[in-house]
Amino acid sequence: GLNDSADVSNVDRKEARDLLNVVIDDPAGSLSPRNGFVQCGILPGGNTGAGIFEYSKADGTRRLIVTDGSSYWQTRNCIDYTLITTAQSTTSLPSWAVIRDKLWVTNRSTHGWTWDGTTFSLLDAGAGKPNPAPPRAAYIEFWQERVWLARTGAEPSSLAFGALTMANGDDVDPSTSSVAFPVTNVLYIDRGGGCPIYGLKEFRNNLYVFKGECGIWRIVFNNDFDIQIIKTLAHIGTRFNDSITELDNFLYFVGPDGIYAFDGDQAVRVSEKIPTKFSGLRQPLSNASFKIWTAAGDFDDGTFVRANE
């Protein structure tokens, strides 16, 4: 693999200082030029892509969903693109999930929406939709047959969850039921701790909440009235929800000082040999801002808001 921390003379025979467009061990022990890439069409809007997701349904059909931020298209063959919706947020990246065979998309700035391959539905509390509407959240996950939504516009440390059954015991359809998202079904993860939620991931039948440099929390959920919020790790987390990837029964994510492997309890940094490369990829911290109160008037005016969240 890559090793940019050692001198050239000390690099292991199975490592390299840097490589580009090559395949390792094909045949074994050699380097071969990579064949290249195949272009998957061009976005109809002509703008730069801002998100991509594979939507797979229970009937075996698969579609590639792509967006430039404002508009969303689907394609089955990288040639023909069909518009799903437009006039969405151009400033907030989407978070995706497949829930009961429907595609769900949320972005924190505008109402979330669903699409079943044919019908688009904006989750705006209209007729035949959840009312109240699901929170406008940055991240979405489906766990224990419930929709989980993290980091709303009003509360960056919030984690809302949907209802499972109605009063008569019938299952709740989270995309249509008027009781799908009770306003009381909200947890607050280290509220006031100084970090917003940056990631949400189901792993090994647990739900993990990532709060940047503030750490990782595990949700233990038995029912609506038996919930525990456990801080699993301190000072190690991620600011990139899309970097949280399950591979070989571990979660890998981009942390503040490297790439980590997480087993649900402990995290180990696995990027010690690429500090130079990682320093160029690390997320800047300039978007973390703070207000220091120095005068009496600072305490008298307005309402205190955690500016870094």
Q: In what order do the strands lie in the sheet with 206-210?
A: 199-203, 206-210, 216-223, 226-233
What phi and psi values does residue 296 have, to the nearest 5 degrees? -60, -35
Kindly state the tokens that stand for 100.
């009961």
The Cα–Cα gap between 103 and 100 comes to 8
Token pair of 138 as six digits: 């940055």
Cα–Cα distance for residue pair 121/139, rounded to 1 Å? 19
3-state helix vs strand vs coil in the chain, percent to 5: 5, 35, 60
Q: What is the pLDDT of residues 128-142, one digit of tens each?
A: 999 999 999 999 999
Q: Are residues 254 and 281 in contact, defined by beta-carbon separation less than 8 angstroms?
A: yes
Segment 275-301 mean pLDDT: 63
**Mean pLDDT within 60-82:** 94
The predicted structure's pLDDT at residue 112 = 95
**Backbone Cα Rg of the chain:** 22
Arithmetic mean of pLDDT, 109-116: 95
**pLDDT of 291:** 52
Residue 286's pLDDT band (boundaries 50, 70, 90)? very low
Can you tell me the mean pLDDT for 69-73? 94
In sequence order, what are the residues at sequence separation of 6 or more whose Cβ sits closer than 8 angstroms to the Cβ of residue 29? none
CB of 95 within 8 A of CB of 134?
Answer: no
User: Does residue 250 or residue 23 have the better pLDDT?
Assistant: 250
